[in-house]
Amino acid sequence: MLLRSYKITRTLPCLADPMKIRVIAEVSEEIQEVFPYLNAVLKGCIYNHPANTLTIRKDQKLITLHSLHITLAKIEDENEAEGLLQWLEDLINETYESRAKIEPNYSMAAELKALDIFKLLPGANCKKCGEPTCLAFAVKVVGRDIEITKCDPLFSEKYQEKRKVLGELLHAAGYAIPNHPFMSER
C-alpha cells in the first residue's frame, strides 16, 4: 500500500459557478512514485515528470495529483470530493501494487488540445486578445504563439476558478506559466 489516508484541508468556492467547489486534500505519504504507472494505465492524463504532477480528467472534473496533495476542481460538494478521493486512493494503491507488471510511462503523453483551452476561456469572442474568436485564441495558445495573459477578461474575478484550472492544465502540459499572481494563486 502506498497511500494510507488523505484529508480534505481546504474547500474553496468556485467563483465561475457558485454551485461548485474546489477541494484540496493532503495525502499521508508521498505518492509521486506511482505517477508513471498511472500515466501508463490511464487514458488522457497529463504527466509532468520534472514537476511531479499528474492531471487526470474524470467526468468533467479535473484532478491534479502532486507529491503530497491532490486538487479537485469543478466539484459539486464534499460528498462528491470524498467519493473521488476514495476512488483515487483505491486506484493509486491498486496501481502501485501491480507496478511490477506495468511498463512505466514517463512521457508527457496527452497533448494539450485547443479545445481543452477553449472550454476554460470566457467564450465572449470579444477580440480583446487580438484574435477573432476565443477558439482562434486557444489555437494560438496551444501553438505557443500567444500568451494566455492576452485574454484580459480571463483575469476578472468572475473567471478565477477557470483561470486556476487553466493554469494547472498548462503547467501540467509543460507550458510556461506566465508570472501572473492570479494565475498561480491557489
DSSP label at residue 128: T
The residues in 137-156 that bind ligand SF4, with binding defined as CB under 6 A, are 137, 151-154
| Helices within the chain (DSSP H only) | 35-41, 78-97, 114-118, 134-142, 160-172, 181-184
Residue 136 Cβ vs ligand SF4, minimum distance, rounded to whole Å: 8
Q: Which of 122, 166, 168, 170 binds ligand SF4 (CB under 6 A)?
A: 122
Closer residue to ligand SF4 in complex, CB, 52/133: 133
Taking CB under 6 A as the rule, does residue 129 contact ligand SF4?
Answer: yes
Site size with ligand SF4, rule: CB under 6 A: 15
118 lies in the site for ligand SF4, by CB under 6 A: no
Binding-site member from 51, 115, 124, 176 for ligand SF4 (CB under 6 A): 124
Query: Is residue 161 exposed (0-12), middle (13-18) or buried (19+ Cβ within 10 Å)?
Result: buried
CA atoms within 13 A on the CB side of 49: 10
